[in-house]
Amino acid sequence: MTSSGGLPRWIYVPAALGAAFVVLPLVAMAARVDWSRFWSLITSDSSTTALELSVKTAAASTALCVVFGVPMAMTLARSHSRVIRWVRPLILLPLVLPPVVGGIALLYAFGRLGLLGRYLDAAGIQIAFSTTAVVLAQTFVSLPFLVIALEGAARTVGADFEVVAATLGARPTAVWWRVTVPLLAPGLASGAVLAFARALGEFGATLTFAGSREGVTRTLPLEIYLQREVDADAAVALSVLLVAVAAVVVIGLGSRRIKVGGAGGWQ
Q: Residues interacting with other proteins, by CB under 8 A? A: 160-161, 163-172, 174-175, 178-179, 182-183, 185, 263, 266-267
How far is Cα of residue 17 from the mean position of the Cα atoms in its chain? 27
243, with CB counted inside 10 A (0-12, 13-18, 19+), is: middle
Closest contact distance (angstroms) between CB of 161 and other proteins is 6
Residue 23 CB partners (closer than 8 Å, separation 6+): none
Q: What are the percentages of helix, strand and coil residues in the chain, rounded to 5?
A: 80, 0, 20
Closest contact distance (angstroms) between CB of 175 and other proteins is 8
Please identify, using beta-carbon distances, which residue of 152 and 264 lies nearer to other proteins: 264
Closest contact distance (angstroms) between CB of 84 and other proteins is 20
Closest contact distance (angstroms) between CB of 152 and other proteins is 18
Three-state secondary structure call for residue 8? strand
Closest contact distance (angstroms) between CB of 209 and other proteins is 39
Of residues 60, 57, 103, 46, the one with CA closest to residue 223: 46
Please identify, using beta-carbon distances, which residue of 166 and 253 lies nearer to other proteins: 166
Please identify, using beta-carbon distances, which residue of 12 and 266 lies nearer to other proteins: 266
Please identify, using beta-carbon distances, which residue of 171 and 252 lies nearer to other proteins: 171
Please identify, using beta-carbon distances, which residue of 117 and 265 lies nearer to other proteins: 265
How far is Cα of residue 29 from the mean position of the Cα atoms in its chain? 23
